Structure 1
């Protein structure tokens, strides 16, 4: 919700038309999150900001990517490439790398460095080359002031608190989102219920609970390694819940009876949805427990409860349960059925709307039938003036009861149509009747495909009969059910006083890296410029000061306020030059992966200088140039030829202004030492040597080949050292090592 909550509004109301990129889980789970948010709002208010259809329309415009799939942008953004990497916060959550020429921008907001039950940690701190020395790194300061205990301690505190509530027959409310972080909590509780064989009712209560779990079952490849191993080991889908019940309304909770129950309810802020309704109902009971796993957004009910919990003790008390004794004024919106005069007025308006809609539908149907008949007329009728058809439509619009208002007892088709160019009179049957005509197209009468259809197999007829009988029985069952009358309602707001006497506990299951982890993850990336966003002023200032004092971090650390624009343009200068044919033919190009590399030594000249040099070499004066006939084209010349000529002229003019990189004479060419380009991991080099028939194994970080040659890496000097006896093995290993690099 934090990252795509406004997307639907931008697309549906503000006309956002730019391309939208996301991973497949973000598309699936994000759409369900937005649908649940719309339904939760509609439960208590007339939400008109956007509709379910707007959500579907916005998400259908998404281009779905896989992790580490590089996508090139088009249009005005041509030349920019984007690549998603796992963030570890939610399934499909992404760290974006944006690349243009020599500039790399890494957008890393809301990432998690800890391995969870259903997700692997982020790749941001794993030392991959994609994040090494980016031009700009954008990260968040949301948790800069927070510290987290180990994951097992937090999970144990959660389960212990729930077990205590179960012993006292209390109900537990856990406000959650509807499709992302709820999966982690649901997985923890489901595993605990199975291991302890608990029978206490456990519910996931959202408008999209069934759809969310169904989507999670098919997104296992996007989750953690432990999930894949569990599924591969016993072929039991981890999200095939056996203890947790999926609920879609408050009435579904009544299945458990009047006993304590544990409910994961949307929405996380408790300002709308099922979580707010259950809070109003359960907060007044002293034995009930509300577990907050997310601090909530500012001014939300969840944030208010978190501040109350935090103000009564130390923040580092993981799993501390505190009793609230507070009185709150809450504005509650609910829908109530219309009654009396309001209901009568609504029914009358509804009847008028239905009647008008029926009239419009009837007129449209008759006009479509008229157009269909006109299409199948013969050629002479097709050539009739269009004015006559408009007269018929005007006659239809005069009255709903008497469509043509003619003197005939029944409607006679084409009564107002003239007889063509020769003013022939219309001939009709004695009694008005609709004359059906054969359907024809431009090639004659349409073919009836059923005439040429093959006879069915013997069992096909029986199968069709059985299916028809089953459909008939199903229709009879549906017809026998009592039809529930939809009662119109209206939104009523009221302010109520709630005496909050329940227990509250906060346990951090947000799935975000804490402040200490952020301070350890960011410096090794060695970003040239660092931007801090998504944090309070206090948290942002604290993290900024920490990075400024760290010698490993750049001095360019920015912390813009909301609405502030900062200039982080790179000082790299890129020039476009044109290589001469002589220079290109002299290059010694070496392949490296998908690239071709060469060492270039040349001199930059203006195009005029190149012409002068060529003229001197050919002993031709520079002014003696080919004369071009500039006369106007003849009348026979086509406009296409003129366009091509203009394009060629424009291209030639552009090339004439582009500087030229020309070859330099051998006497003036400076010498250079060979440059080794490329980097290889010793683990990959070991595989290459083994494929070549050599024995290779690691010993204290050194790769030993055939017990004679040692290959070791000095990271501080960025060197690969080869030690051993000079012989056949030495030269074979050296040859394979050279093949993995480009030496120019």
Structure 2
């Protein structure tokens, strides 16, 4: 049975911006990804706001900001309530991406769009799933199944397969990578054959990628030339996605004694670097087969780094010790708009010995994009923000506001305690009254006597004993049961026999590091425009982990989708991908290239429409049950409505609905009676069993079913059943049983 399928791009169409799309299958609406750019542009979020009320579920493909950056805002600020699905690594690493982004923003500005608590509350609502795990939806999504498949781009990255009634298969595949990498297997998109609809991107369709060996050699050459010439190297990367591939590779280079790199320092710098690597260590099962096998056999974990030091601040990086003062740093955020990467760039860009290496293409209108577009530009002007401690009148004003806030909180607590004391006194009065009542002797037919029995039927209004407040802990579990906690496998700490002995204390001079437990010093953000002399080397080496244009063409030729929706690519790549598919007849039916806000009607049967039935008409219908369905004959007038209004606005209301047409009852004087319609196609073999169950002897003679030797049933050329026989009790009994097999309208 065909479904009504509509698709709409809210962001990420005819450009390389953040990704967010609406997919409607009958009455159920998916929001696939909800990304945001690092500038948190308000025009992007405005498009999301207009549609979130109609969303029934969100599917997240990747953990980076481009795919889920707007999720905490939609959930915490816009009160979005729906099911959210993603894989376990996307859940863990997605939090790391957002934590690093928030902390980086707060270093340079007062970021108030959402905070760390909003992130935690949002991710508490997410349902984590595994690869190849099928989730059957309920309610409006009855008959829909979603399955996560590996994409090969980032750990936990997902190609979503949506199945409707085991017939219509919709594949959402963006930013996939078919190559097997050092820590990830490639995607399995080429194993999918002829899906009903393929939704994919054209981001890399015109891009030619060098072989991995050539890129690795180029990276090693740049590292050696920089460090051996007394320079430092900064590699701009993300927080918890592609950085794992780079970190694993670089740690292997440092372990190789022939490279001579072990004498130089190497660090991973971002606000959550320690947590990122700890999570990576615990997600070996999501990595490639070689890593999984090495871990199972020898408990070898590729992210148990020997040389890479984990730093969370520039101060820690400053005191990084090594045989040489030169260092290589993997740092976020890759667009250089904020974070440690921007600070390090300002410090290192003026030295011609240093190298700034970009591993991915930057978003438009960012500092990284400007540097890559004009690498020979020697001077640039940037807006630099930093935090300074409050002083003088500003500090006094801050403490005054803080004091007023504390006073308000104390007043609130005082009033709360007063209310509690009033409640306690009322409870004591109630108890005293109850004790007085208890002294009254109960009669044989008194209700009070029934309450003295422990197994009483009537429920008391008051608790029998005072109780502490209790909040039930939400236990997370999957198909294999409850999630295990690391603490459950911790060894008991043995008592130290030397604990009470005196030990000699030796003073050791330690470098000063940031103490996060110190009292927070009030600060403010100040901005200034500065001119930078860019004399360092600027290099781009592709470590994005996406399939290139030639690979995309081969994959599309193998998949051969019936319908294709092309998204997330500039106008040229989108147009050429469409022309290529048309020229080589890769797509069997239609190709869609929607613009932002445009609704695509991808319904397979083009003559299927949504029609709204008026309540007056529905109440007059007489339904007949047949198997699992109920049918009714409808005589009505069709009137046109506001087509696609609800899907476009995202609001559910009477005035704006998704139905293009509505049915209204006919006037009573114009309604003619119709002939009786029999709905069903019973087989004679099935009828034979039914007659036998009703004590009627039934046998086949030359393709004719004969009942009790008097009544004959046979099918004509059009498939209709003809009943013949002598009018008798048997005839009417057989006819009644036959009629019961039909819905008569």
**TM bucket normalised to smaller:** 0.5 to 0.7
In the TM superposition, what is the alpha-carbon distance from 1:444 to its structure 2 partner? 7.2
Provide closer, same or farther for how the CA distance between residues 615 and 249 of structure 1 changes in structure 2, counting only shifts above 3 A.
farther
Matches within 5 A, 1:193-212: 193-196=254-257, 198-212=262-276
- Give the structure 2 partner of residue 144 of structure 1: 205
Provide closer, same or farther for how the CA distance between residues 252 and 580 of structure 1 changes in structure 2, counting only shifts above 3 A.
same
Contact conserved, 2:146 with 2:162, CA < 8 A, in 1?
Answer: yes
Contact conserved, 1:611 with 1:622, CA < 8 A, in 2?
Answer: no
- Give the structure 1 partner of residue 409 of structure 2: 357
Contact conserved, 2:715 with 2:722, CA < 8 A, in 1?
Answer: no
Asked if 1:182 corresponds to 2:182, the answer is no
Q: Which moved more, 1:493-502 or 1:286-295?
A: 493-502
Partner of residue 538 from structure 1, selected from 572, 575, 578: 572
- Give the structure 1 partner of residue 541 of structure 2: 507
Taking the aligned partners of 1:613 and 1:50, their CA distance within structure 2 comes to 80
- Give the structure 1 partner of residue 355 of structure 2: 289
Contact conserved, 2:151 with 2:177, CA < 8 A, in 1?
Answer: yes
In the TM superposition, what is the alpha-carbon distance from 1:38 to its structure 2 partner? 1.0
Contact conserved, 2:561 with 2:586, CA < 8 A, in 1?
Answer: no
Taking the aligned partners of 1:88 and 1:614, their CA distance within structure 2 comes to 74
Taking the aligned partners of 1:75 and 1:348, their CA distance within structure 2 comes to 54
In the TM superposition, what is the alpha-carbon distance from 1:610 to its structure 2 partner? 11
- Give the structure 2 partner of residue 697 of structure 1: none
- Give the structure 2 partner of residue 213 of structure 1: 277
Q: Which moved more, 1:115-124 or 1:168-177?
A: 168-177
- Give the structure 2 partner of residue 716 of structure 1: none
Contact conserved, 2:100 with 2:271, CA < 8 A, in 1?
Answer: yes
Taking the aligned partners of 1:212 and 1:116, their CA distance within structure 2 comes to 19
In the TM superposition, what is the alpha-carbon distance from 1:549 to its structure 2 partner? 1.0
Asked if 1:117 corresponds to 2:182, the answer is yes
- Give the structure 1 partner of residue 307 of structure 2: 243
In the TM superposition, what is the alpha-carbon distance from 1:618 to its structure 2 partner? 4.9
In the TM superposition, what is the alpha-carbon distance from 1:374 to its structure 2 partner? 4.7
Partner of residue 560 from structure 1, selected from 577, 594, 614: 594
Taking the aligned partners of 1:61 and 1:487, their CA distance within structure 2 comes to 34
The one-character-per-residue Cα deviations of 1:21-70 (angstroms, maximum 9, x if unpaired) are: 11111111111111111111111111111111111111111111111111
Gaps of 5+ in 1: 310-323, 385-440, 448-461, 471-480, 589-601, 626-652, 660-744
Matches within 5 A, 1:10-89: 10-89=74-153
Asked if 1:490 corresponds to 2:524, the answer is yes
Matches within 5 A, 1:399-438: none
Normalised TM-score (structure 2): 0.63
Partner of residue 346 from structure 1, selected from 395, 398, 407: 398
In the TM superposition, what is the alpha-carbon distance from 1:307 to its structure 2 partner? 2.0
Provide closer, same or farther for how the CA distance between residues 191 and 512 of structure 1 changes in structure 2, counting only shifts above 3 A.
same
Taking the aligned partners of 2:151 and 2:188, their CA distance within structure 1 comes to 7
In the TM superposition, what is the alpha-carbon distance from 1:364 to its structure 2 partner? 2.2
In the TM superposition, what is the alpha-carbon distance from 1:177 to its structure 2 partner? 1.1
The one-character-per-residue Cα deviations of 1:314-356 (angstroms, maximum 9, x if unpaired) are: xxxxxxxxxx342211111222111111111111121121122
SS, match of residue 263 in structure 2: coil
Provide closer, same or farther for how the CA distance between residues 482 and 29 of structure 1 changes in structure 2, counting only shifts above 3 A.
closer
SS, match of residue 256 in structure 1: coil
In the TM superposition, what is the alpha-carbon distance from 1:365 to its structure 2 partner? 3.4
- Give the structure 1 partner of residue 158 of structure 2: 94
Partner of residue 167 from structure 1, selected from 225, 228, 246: 228
Q: CA RMSD in A?
A: 4.1
Contact conserved, 1:105 with 1:135, CA < 8 A, in 2?
Answer: yes
Partner of residue 267 from structure 1, selected from 321, 325, 333: 333
Taking the aligned partners of 2:200 and 2:726, their CA distance within structure 1 comes to 55
The one-character-per-residue Cα deviations of 1:181-221 (angstroms, maximum 9, x if unpaired) are: 11001101111111136131111111111111111111000
- Give the structure 1 partner of residue 563 of structure 2: 529
Provide closer, same or farther for how the CA distance between residues 553 and 523 of structure 1 changes in structure 2, counting only shifts above 3 A.
farther
- Give the structure 2 partner of residue 429 of structure 1: none
Matches within 5 A, 1:675-690: none
Contact conserved, 1:230 with 1:238, CA < 8 A, in 2?
Answer: no
In the TM superposition, what is the alpha-carbon distance from 1:16 to its structure 2 partner? 1.6
Contact conserved, 2:626 with 2:742, CA < 8 A, in 1?
Answer: no
The one-character-per-residue Cα deviations of 1:471-524 (angstroms, maximum 9, x if unpaired) are: xxxxxxxxxx99844221111121111121110111111010001100110121
Provide closer, same or farther for how the CA distance between residues 341 and 548 of structure 1 changes in structure 2, counting only shifts above 3 A.
same
In the TM superposition, what is the alpha-carbon distance from 1:166 to its structure 2 partner? 1.0
Taking the aligned partners of 1:149 and 1:231, their CA distance within structure 2 comes to 31
- Give the structure 1 partner of residue 342 of structure 2: 276
Taking the aligned partners of 2:736 and 2:381, their CA distance within structure 1 comes to 93
Contact conserved, 2:88 with 2:156, CA < 8 A, in 1?
Answer: yes
Asked if 1:337 corresponds to 2:364, the answer is no
In the TM superposition, what is the alpha-carbon distance from 1:603 to its structure 2 partner? 8.8
Contact conserved, 1:530 with 1:554, CA < 8 A, in 2?
Answer: no
- Give the structure 2 partner of residue 308 of structure 1: 374
In the TM superposition, what is the alpha-carbon distance from 1:308 to its structure 2 partner? 2.5
Partner of residue 254 from structure 1, selected from 318, 322, 331: 318
Taking the aligned partners of 2:555 and 2:397, their CA distance within structure 1 comes to 64
Provide closer, same or farther for how the CA distance between residues 584 and 517 of structure 1 changes in structure 2, counting only shifts above 3 A.
farther
Taking the aligned partners of 1:24 and 1:494, their CA distance within structure 2 comes to 42
In the TM superposition, what is the alpha-carbon distance from 1:264 to its structure 2 partner? 1.0
Instruction: Number of aligned residue pairs: give it.
Output: 520
In the TM superposition, what is the alpha-carbon distance from 1:569 to its structure 2 partner? 0.6
Contact conserved, 1:375 with 1:382, CA < 8 A, in 2?
Answer: no
Taking the aligned partners of 1:98 and 1:172, their CA distance within structure 2 comes to 44
In the TM superposition, what is the alpha-carbon distance from 1:241 to its structure 2 partner? 1.1
The one-character-per-residue Cα deviations of 1:623-660 (angstroms, maximum 9, x if unpaired) are: 999xxxxxxxxxxxxxxxxxxxxxxxxxxx9x98688x
Matches within 5 A, 1:695-706: none
Taking the aligned partners of 1:444 and 1:338, their CA distance within structure 2 comes to 53
The one-character-per-residue Cα deviations of 1:370-421 (angstroms, maximum 9, x if unpaired) are: 534654566334699xxxxxxxxxxxxxxxxxxxxxxxxxxxxxxxxxxxxx
Gaps of 5+ in 2: 1-64, 437-461, 469-492, 502-514, 610-624, 628-679, 690-713
Provide closer, same or farther for how the CA distance between residues 110 and 657 of structure 1 changes in structure 2, counting only shifts above 3 A.
farther
Contact conserved, 1:577 with 1:658, CA < 8 A, in 2?
Answer: no
Provide closer, same or farther for how the CA distance between residues 603 and 612 of structure 1 changes in structure 2, counting only shifts above 3 A.
closer
Provide closer, same or farther for how the CA distance between residues 609 and 350 of structure 1 changes in structure 2, counting only shifts above 3 A.
farther
SS, match of residue 3 in structure 1: helix
SS, match of residue 98 in structure 1: strand
- Give the structure 2 partner of residue 738 of structure 1: none
In the TM superposition, what is the alpha-carbon distance from 1:443 to its structure 2 partner? 5.0
Taking the aligned partners of 2:273 and 2:722, their CA distance within structure 1 comes to 71
In the TM superposition, what is the alpha-carbon distance from 1:112 to its structure 2 partner? 0.2
